[in-house]
Structure 1
């Protein structure tokens, strides 16, 4: 099979997304006949039909669906190359691409990266950070899409090297009048009688809570499923249920939002956040310096036991 050219792949993706050659041509600022010619050449190159022509447009064939998945990855990689080369043209001497889970971005990671970039020795380094689910993050690190990942060590990190970054602790957030809000801490099993506000099923927290509920032999009832911790806080404030979030995310804004934070007493609620990568010896100097900086931030943080100690409230 001959090499695939990026222009044809971009037109192919545009047709898949619009399901119409004329609309795809308009989006790409090219005439429809040129798009049709490119698609015919692409089908000849891969040796399989890529579209089924229908009365209202076109739809990808099974072969087209497979090519679409690969094409998006190839185009994303080409775009990253273009951005990286442009950065070097502007004077950047080192670039680190990092993936991180939503909880790590919501906690201290952005501040730690900002301090790293503010150091005079790092002024010519650029760090690109993107949010990702744990499973996608790990796969991307293995495939070399990104250099570093930051996630909960409950993820499947087999084959990757890791360094400890920070520790956090899961807690429930509840309206002030909720029965659990009066406790200094609680076990997760106690929350199973309540309706929950949860994160999507693809997140590591959701999987851990489902496992804990199964071990307890009781169902976990979700009244709402949201994609961010901020949305969780708003739903809890509105009285839709309680939510399990990192204490480090909730405590700084709990009083402002009007919710109570109750740490979970379960051992698995104490989490270790790690930096992961394929091979330390193959890291660029910029990536290695960033790993060392984040490790130093971990050493400067309070020890896990101290960080996990609950704030005792006077019982009424």
Structure 2
């Protein structure tokens, strides 16, 4: 049996785009040629990957199983090409490889930049590919082999991924300078929700956490607007459009640059645990394992 990468990439594209025409355009191939390649793939594997009807094609259970394996194979093929190209440039010296990382905004804005800078300065030929996603998408992507490493909020994500502690953070409240709450040293949620809030988008873990905590206390937040990043949240707060809740480490980036005050949120759930997830430690490449250990290294010994 000979499975070529072009057909596997086309198959993955069809699964991700949920339409042969869109997948064919993405892979720069004619729709008729794409359909023919998919039929030939089914013949080679001797299994039905799509149930066809007048309404279109529906993936079978076998298609979802193949999707997971195909992503892994294509990732390894990409890694071979990248590493061999780099070896050719310097005679085969040094650690090489590539690692796919997905992380939530809290990890990216508070911890990852310095950590990745140190790692990549020590291993300049390791290609770290980083994407920002929400925690639920990160867990799914790692389970489905779209990513090697995920950094996400603590939670229950099923048994297809393995979790280990990454970092902890604390939530704080940002208010404009001169706001009625600006002189407070700490705030309870009840004090915060008495004012208009600038919140994160509906799918964010932070939005779910605040909404759940408010409901538990019988409170109704006055959410004035939703944004997709901490930078936008702080800009809206600085403009006097409301107040916001975000990780204290992320807020520090904007304090000083914007007329804001950062006040501790005195709630037990404001202390959060961020986690690192993988499919399994054994499934990681050597460079991915090295990055995992680097990211999870305790703060006191993190400086290299």
* CA-CA distance at 1:222 after TM superposition: 1.3
Q: Deviations over 1:34-55 (max 9, x none)?
A: 5687789899965643665xxx
Where does structure 2 lack aligned partners over 5 or more consecutive residues? 87-94
* CA-CA distance at 1:161 after TM superposition: 3.7
* CA-CA distance at 1:163 after TM superposition: 3.4
**If the length of structure 1 is used for normalisation, what is the TM-score?**
0.73
Question: 1:251: which partner in 2?
Answer: 252
**If the length of structure 2 is used for normalisation, what is the TM-score?**
0.76
| Residues 110, 65 of structure 1: alpha-carbon distance in 2 compared, 3 angstrom cutoff | farther
* CA-CA distance at 1:211 after TM superposition: 0.9
| Residues 114, 205 of structure 1: alpha-carbon distance in 2 compared, 3 angstrom cutoff | same
Question: 2:118: which partner in 1?
Answer: 115
| Contact 1:198/1:244, CA 8 A, preserved across alignment | yes
Distance in 2 between the 1:219 and 1:127 partners?
42
* CA-CA distance at 1:31 after TM superposition: 6.1
Distance in 2 between the 1:39 and 1:158 partners?
31
SS of the residue 2:254 aligns to: helix
Q: Deviations over 1:92-119 (max 9, x none)?
A: 6333222211111111212101101212
* CA-CA distance at 1:263 after TM superposition: 1.4
Where does structure 1 lack aligned partners over 5 or more consecutive residues? 53-60, 302-316
Count of residues in Structure 1 that have an aligned counterpart in Structure 2:
284
| Contact 1:197/1:235, CA 8 A, preserved across alignment | yes
Distance in 2 between the 1:51 and 1:39 partners?
18
Distance in 2 between the 1:245 and 1:234 partners?
13
Alignment of 1:175-194 (within 5 A): 175-194=176-195
Q: Deviations over 1:137-196 (max 9, x none)?
A: 12222333322221222x215544433332211111111122122211111221111111
Question: 1:156: which partner in 2?
Answer: 156
| Residues 65, 242 of structure 1: alpha-carbon distance in 2 compared, 3 angstrom cutoff | farther
Question: 1:102: which partner in 2?
Answer: 105
Distance in 1 between the 2:62 and 2:217 partners?
44
* CA-CA distance at 1:264 after TM superposition: 0.5
Question: 2:225: which partner in 1?
Answer: 224
Distance in 2 between the 1:207 and 1:168 partners?
17
Distance in 1 between the 2:28 and 2:100 partners?
32
| Contact 2:50/2:59, CA 8 A, preserved across alignment | no
Distance in 2 between the 1:254 and 1:296 partners?
28
Pairwise CA RMSD of aligned residues?
3.7
The range that moved more, 64-73 or 98-107, is 64-73
Question: 1:137: which partner in 2?
Answer: 138
| Contact 1:151/1:273, CA 8 A, preserved across alignment | yes
Question: 1:204: which partner in 2?
Answer: 205
| Contact 2:15/2:67, CA 8 A, preserved across alignment | no
Distance in 2 between the 1:15 and 1:140 partners?
17
Q: Deviations over 1:290-309 (max 9, x none)?
A: 222223353447xxxxxxxx
SS of the residue 1:116 aligns to: helix
SS of the residue 1:63 aligns to: strand
Distance in 1 between the 2:99 and 2:166 partners?
17
| Contact 1:51/1:64, CA 8 A, preserved across alignment | no
Distance in 1 between the 2:259 and 2:217 partners?
30
Distance in 2 between the 1:33 and 1:294 partners?
46
* CA-CA distance at 1:255 after TM superposition: 1.7
